[in-house]
């Protein structure tokens, strides 16, 4: 996977498949510690300890459509190439937390990618999911919570095109204000097409 936003999308899809009602994504950029941390937590069905211990093996997967699961294996590889590590903590029937750590300045750290587009895709595909996204930099903190959005939009569904555009604009503006790393050049054009695909 060429950027971290694709890893986020992959793990969030796994969380939904595991029955999660809430997914929390936290990104920290700490230049003073040369640290980039990505944490994704869910309240899904979790994993048995023996399976959790083997989940980064590409030949271990719960999918029935294919016999390999490359997502976490590739994330672990990207972490290690960038001087970091991957930690997975899971409890059966309670949920899973994935923590990916990278050296922020490392030449092999994947770029953040289009975080707003990734969040929008998760919302569009899962309008009933409680999604919380938090991004911290040395300039401040931004939190996006779909429950707050639902309170503001009333009866409109979260995956309504106007709501998706509003969410994209809000996320982009706030990430820019705190100087967060993300690529957003195609975000608004893609948002217009979400409902049609």
Question: Which two tokens mark 17?
Answer: 């498949």
Given a cut of 50, is residue 188 above it in pLDDT?
A: no
Q: How confident is the model at residue 2 (pLDDT cuts 50, 70, 90)?
A: confident
What does the pLDDT read at residue 170?
A: 95
Q: How confident is the model at residue 23 (pLDDT cuts 50, 70, 90)?
A: very high
137 has which bridge partners?
A: 140
- Average pLDDT estimate for 176-192: 69
- Average pLDDT estimate for 27-38: 97
pTM of the predicted model as reported, rounded to 2 decimal places? 0.86
């Amino acid at each position: 996977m060429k950027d971290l936003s694709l890893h986020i999308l992959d793990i969030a899809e796994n969380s939904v498949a595991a029955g999660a009602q809430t997914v929390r994504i936290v990104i920290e950029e700490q230049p003073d510690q040369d640290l980039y941390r990505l944490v994704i937590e869910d309240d899904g069905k979790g994993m048995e300890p023996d399976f959790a211990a083997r989940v980064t093996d590409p030949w271990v997967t719960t999918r029935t459509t294919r016999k390999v699961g490359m997502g976490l294996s590739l994330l672990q590889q990207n972490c290690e190439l960038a001087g970091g590590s991957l930690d997975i903590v899971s409890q059966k029937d309670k949920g899973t937390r994935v923590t990916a750590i990278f050296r922020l300045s490392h030449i092999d750290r994947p770029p953040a990618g289009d975080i707003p587009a990734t969040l929008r895709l998760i919302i569009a595909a899962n309008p009933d999911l409680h999604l919380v996204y938090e991004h911290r930099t040395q300039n401040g903190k931004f939190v996006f919570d779909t429950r707050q959005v639902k309170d503001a939009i009333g009866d409109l569904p979260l995956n309504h095109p106007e709501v998706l555009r509003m969410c994209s604009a809000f996320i982009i503006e706030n990430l820019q204000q705190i100087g967060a790393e993300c690529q957003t050049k195609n975000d608004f054009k893609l948002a217009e097409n979400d409902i049609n695909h």
